[in-house]
Structure 1
Amino acid sequence: MVQGETDPAMQHPTGLSSRPTRVEVLVTAAEAYPVLERAFLGARREIWASFRIFDLSTRLRSPEAQAVGETWFDLIVHTLRRGVDIRMVLTDFDPIARPSLHRGTWKAVRQFMGAAEAAGPGAGRLRITAAMHSAVTGVLPRTVFWPQIAARLRAIVTWLNGSESHARSALLRDMPGLRDWLVSPKTGPLRARLWGVPVLYPATHHQKLAVFDRRLLSIGGLDLDERRWDTPEHNRPGAETWHDVQLMVEGPIVAEAQAHLETFLDVVAGRADPPPQRKLLRTVSRRRSASWVRFGPEELLHEIYDAHLMLAARAERLIYLETQYFRDTRLARALAQLGRERPSLSLILILPAAPEEVAFGGFAGLDARFGEYLQARSLRLLEDGFGSRLFVGGAAQPRRKARRGDGPQAAGPEGSRGPETADEHCVPEARGRDRLKGAPIVYIHSKVSVFDDKAAIVSSANLNGRSMRWDTEAGLLLDDPAQVVALRERIMRHWLPRDPEPALLDPARAIGAWRNLALSNARQPPDRRRGFLLPYDLDAAERLGRSIPGVPEEMV
């Protein structure tokens, strides 16, 4: 861990001054999962947590955790038996738009309840909540999109009817949100109930954080399941790669995270006001009191977005961004304007070569195509503002073929074997997006933003409208220069050759050095490349992208 001092000039968007913290940077699940396991093992009284995905069939990796069992189910049983209370919020999902994720949430709830039962009498208390965001889409847009909703319902029914009767019953057990929209005759197949317009839930809880005994915080972009397991070498099939960043933190920030975990469900439901914070950055929205014409929620807090604008405005040399999506045209315009006004400022942006479902499934639904349209548009805005002072990179393995995999394939974890892809088709524009310049891609899911040596943000939020304004997100503002530099070098070194040239890590020279390295790698066969870095293929995104008039950017 790194101890840092606080720059008194740096302020959180709330106007409150920040205080020092101790931070451990964890890159990929190979580093983060063992540390998370040890945090559960070390907890003495209570654990509060909120995750999008938390699968208890995930294998344990640390020797200490393996001493108590094979999977996270065993670790939860062990933790409860030691008398530790666990309060876990799992994100629930729209059962029609995201049926596989909805099913995964309720399967996880069953796992947790089974662990509590296995822990026996006298164990710690378990409070497990499957939390749907309170916001609902207005009647007018639901009516306009009723044909698409009905088609999705029929696809779900077709998928369910393709299972044997006993398997179908097991599937429906974990899909409670669908019960009101299915007709289950005593004999014969299921049917969709196509009268009435289903409620749609446009926002989710996307945060990934846990607090242990009110003294230790895990926060960042990484959920828990086998799909997300990867190592810093990324030597596995592209569909099994997963680059992410998580922080383990001690200090005053932990109390802020604890307060957020204790209150955010009431805040989102409109029963409470959000507590003031200093270094914890949030996106929080809630259900509108009355609006039949709106797609999304009422925006309440957009501190992560505000912090990006504030810190970018203070940057003088280099802004470094890693994100799963760069689709927020409002943020892109603001950054582009800074690029025009500040000729000394450069921007490095690292993205996955393609959305997960496109790269590894070849599927391109309306959401993926709209997302690619927004991302391509946002990148063109950056090009106009920064010119040659912009580098947009992707990542691929320095090998032509990855080793054979033994993990789950992805199309993606959002339902490669579920009904999400039943009404979608492979399109020519999606072909080959699992490779970049002839090599298997590294799928990037990290959410890291660094502004000179002054400040950095690590969070659960992508740089898209959904994360900036709709979904529940949480992240950490780092403002100690030593911590910021250490984080930036750690994150940048991951993509670079083992012994990078000094220019690659120098904010004043990095833009040219990164571009030259990426172009050099692109000219070489995969096994002769230095590091993972390659140019991002913007043309491929533009070929796939499609505008959808009338749909807000925040939908994707």
Structure 2
Amino acid sequence: MAMGRTDALLRPEDNCWRIEHADRFSLIVDADDYFCAAREAMLAAKKRIMLIGWDFDARITLCRPGEKDEAPAKLDDFVIWLVERNPDLEIYVLRWDVGMVKALFRGNTLLTLLRWKAHARITARADSVHPFAASHHQKIVAIDDSIAFCGGIDMTSERWDTRDHADDNPDRVLPGTTKQYKPWHDATSLFDGKAAAAIGELARDRWEAACGQKLEPLDQSAPQWPPSFSPMLENVDLAIARSYPDMKNRPAIIEIERLYETLIADAKTLIYAESQYFASRRIAIAIGKRLAEPDGPEVVIVNPLTADGWLEPVAMDTARARLVAALRRLDKHGRLRIYHPQTAKGAPIYVHAKVTIVDDRVLRVGSSNFNNRSLRLDTECDVALCVDDDAQKATVAGLRDNLIAEHLGVDRQTVTDEYAASGSMIATIEKLRGPGRTLGPYEIPELNDVEKWLADNEILDPEGPEAIFESFANDNRGKRGLFRGWHMVRQIRMRRARG
């Protein structure tokens, strides 16, 4: 592992599990590229493929629309074809158990499971090893302990989209139908080397915890990098961070929480983040401390307009409204902005990506969101890298500018040039925002008393297994709640005001 900045920022057994070397690394944006890269990587698999996820839909196709090769297009047929073609290959699929139950009522899922179960070298299981109301949320793929994917994209329906997020894309439809679903923005990572072997170990550990079966590690073979994708970075040290809830015989792991707090505290000029939610009290407090500083960093967060589902908007959107209102009171220097992306015709683009880029040095991508569940209740896996080399720093900055350019409907160089001229990403975005494809500013909605109570008491987004069952009696005030710990931020602000 390279010495220097990485050692100071990324610390094993504190804000990450391990730091391992990757010969090649790429950030993959949106599922059009991810599905293609995953397909190419699985086609080259020799011994083992492990698919660990929140959800899988075997009806989806992994190849791009219109593309053909000798393998079947649909995931269910593709998995069977892979093992029948290669007698040495074994495939393991692990998904959240509640998601599995829901999937049984989706199309031909039951038939697919029976077909997979009938094959001796395909094993599909449901992961039920989590506390009440928690979920298995990791989204990782480990191939031959040599190639790995880690990010936020599930191999399921309603995820595929291209980076232009066209309003009327005829291929963005539910499997087996012509019904369109909403535009979807997402991200994951691809890497090899010892970092990929570590993800293989993590996948085997999760499989053993969920299924009771111990899988042996593989001798690392020469990684078969997907031929259609060039690596964005080479020779980087990659930190792997996890969330794991407190359970019997296994203590909680809060590496991701500590990683977020470290990255926010260390930022010099800019924190750029994409997250499905903004509902974490701890992350908001960390950001609030930086906003209270006269020379702290800008904070730019890209969220969906509203959370997906029927329950999530009540839990996530109300907490976001309360936290943002509190942060704006601290933001005397105007350094916080939250935006929502929209299509050329003004339709909301759903943000499912979980990416954080700090200055031009740090890139984090994974399955965790800015919400309490991701930090202490669900199982999560993120990866992060910190670079010092000028060429690598330029690449990290370019990845950030490329994401922002995607949302604004402009080319990356335009964002890079405007940011260099102004020195402010907020000023850059405000100058480049316009009609059509753009980023719209977040507006705090009016909340009723019930919504405020739900948000303030974290009823639907608990911090961990124990928080679900905490009492709401008066003598318990201060032990839970969205604004617990904010006195520290207020004290910092008061000290700053006194000079």
Query: If the length of structure 1 is used for normalisation, what is the TM-score?
Result: 0.67
1:80 aligns with 2:83: yes
Q: Are the equivalent residues in 2 in contact too, given 1:29–1:244 (CA < 8 A)?
A: yes
- Inter-partner Cα distance in structure 1 for 2:417 and 2:451: 35
Match of 1:322 in 2: 274
Q: 1:373, 1:547 within 8 Å by CA — same for their partners in 2?
A: no
Q: What are the within-5 Å matches in structure 2 for residues 375-524 of structure 1?
A: 375-387=320-332, 388-399=334-345, 439-481=346-388, 482=392, 483-499=395-411, 500-506=414-420, 508-518=423-433, 521=434, 524=435
Q: Is the 8 A contact 1:216 1:254 kept in 2?
A: yes
Q: Which amino acid in structure 2 is aligned with residue 71 of structure 1?
A: K
**Aligned position for 1:417:** none
Given the alignment of the two structures, is residue 224 of structure 1 paired with residue 155 of structure 2, yes or no?
yes
Structure 1 residues 484 and 108, CA, compared in 2 at 3 Å: closer, same or farther? farther
**2:248 maps to 1:248:** no
Match of 1:353 in 2: 305
**Counterparts of 1:101 and 1:374, CA distance in 2:** 29
**TM-fit CA distance, 1:271:** 12
Which of 220-229 and 496-505 deviates more?
496-505
Name the SS of the counterpart of 2:278 in structure 1.
coil
Alpha-carbon separation, structure 1, partners of 2:330 and 2:349 = 28
| Distance change >3 Å, CA 74–CA 318, structure 1 → 2 | same
Structure 2 match to 1:114:
115
Deviation of the 1:107 alpha carbon: 6.6
Displacement after TM superposition at 1:14 (Å): 2.2
- Identify if the C-alpha distance between structure 1 residues 23 and 91 changes in structure 2 by more than 3 Å, giving closer, same or farther: same
Give the corresponding residue for 2:173.
none
Paired residue secondary structure (2:445): helix
**Distance in 1 (alpha carbons) for counterparts of 2:35 and 2:362:** 26
Equivalent-residue separation in structure 2 for 1:270 and 1:221 (angstroms): 26
Measured against aligned partners, the alpha-carbon deviations of 1:72-106 in whole angstroms (never above 9, x if no partner) come to 112101111112101111111189xxx635755x9
Q: Is the 8 A contact 1:393 1:533 kept in 2?
A: yes
Q: Using the alignment, how far apart are the partners of 2:248 and 2:40 within structure 1?
A: 41
1:428-475 superposed Cα distances (whole Å, 9 cap, x missing partner) = xxxxxxxxxxx2111110000111122121001111000111101111
1:551, distance to aligned residue in structure 2 (A): 5.1
The one-letter amino acid of 1:253's match is A
**Secondary structure at 1:341's aligned position in 2?**
coil
8 Å CA contact 1:286–1:300 kept in 2: the answer is yes
Task: Kindly indicate which of the two structures has a greater share of residues assigned to helix.
Answer: 1
Aligned partners of 1:258 and 1:214: how far apart in 2?
A: 5
Aligned length: 413
CA distance, structure 1, for counterparts of residue 321 and residue 355 of structure 2: 20
Q: Give the 3 Å change call, closer, same or farther, for CA 310–372 of structure 1 in structure 2.
A: same
Kindly indicate whether the alpha-carbon contact (under 8 Å) linking 1:372 and 1:544 is maintained by their aligned counterparts in 2: no
Amino acid at match of 1:517: L
Q: How far did 1:547 drift?
A: 2.3
Paired residue secondary structure (2:407): coil
Q: 2:19 touches 2:238 (CA, 8 Å); kept in 1? A: yes
1:55 and 2:57 correspond: yes
Q: Contact between 1:241 and 1:443, CA under 8 Å: does it hold in 2?
A: yes
Residues in 2 aligned to 1:311 and 1:55: alpha-carbon distance in whole angstroms: 35
5+ residue gaps in structure 2?
169-179, 215-236, 464-499
**Residues 1:253 and 1:376: Cα distance change in structure 2 (over 3 Å):** same
Number of the residue aligned with 1:14: 13
Closer, same or farther: CA 485–94 of 1 in aligned 2, 3 Å: closer
Please name the residue that 1:533 is paired with: 439
Which residue of structure 1 lines up, in the alignment, with residue 137 of structure 2?
206
Asked whether the equivalents of residues 298 and 336 of structure 2 are also in contact (C-alpha less than 8 Å), the reply is yes
The letter for the 1-side match of 2:10 is: Q
**Could you say if the C-alpha distance between residues 53 and 211 of structure 1 is closer, same or farther in structure 2, counting changes exceeding 3 Å?**
same
CA distance in 2, matches of 1:213, 1:314: 36
Identity of aligned residues (%): 21
2:98 is aligned, of 75, 93, 96, to 93
Q: Secondary structure at the match of 1:348?
A: strand
Instruction: Letter of the 2:59 partner, please give it.
Output: S
SS in 2 for 1:495: helix
Counterpart code for 2:372: G
Aligned residue runs from structure 1 range 211-290, under 5 A: 211-236=142-167, 239-266=181-208, 279-288=239-248
Return the offset for 1:331. Answer: 1.2
> Measured at CA, do residues 501 and 209 of structure 1 come closer, stay the same or move farther in structure 2, by a change above 3 Å?
closer
User: Which amino acid letter does the alignment assign opposite residue 537 of structure 1?
Assistant: E
Letter in 1 for 2:42: F
Q: CA deviation at 1:223?
A: 0.5
* Counterpart Cα distance in 1 of 2:410 and 2:99: 44
**Given the superposition, is the C-alpha separation of residues 85 and 131 from structure 1 closer, same or farther in structure 2, using an over 3 Å criterion?**
same
Q: Does 1:338 align with 2:253?
A: no
How far apart in 2 are the matches of 1:536 and 1:33? 31
| Structure-2-length-normalised TM-score | 0.74
Distance, in Å, in 2 between the alignment partners of 1:20 and 1:480 is 13
1:133 to 129, 134, 139: 129
Mapped contact 2:276–2:351 kept (Cα < 8 A):
yes
Distance in 1 between residues matched to 2:251 and 2:318, nearest whole Å: 24
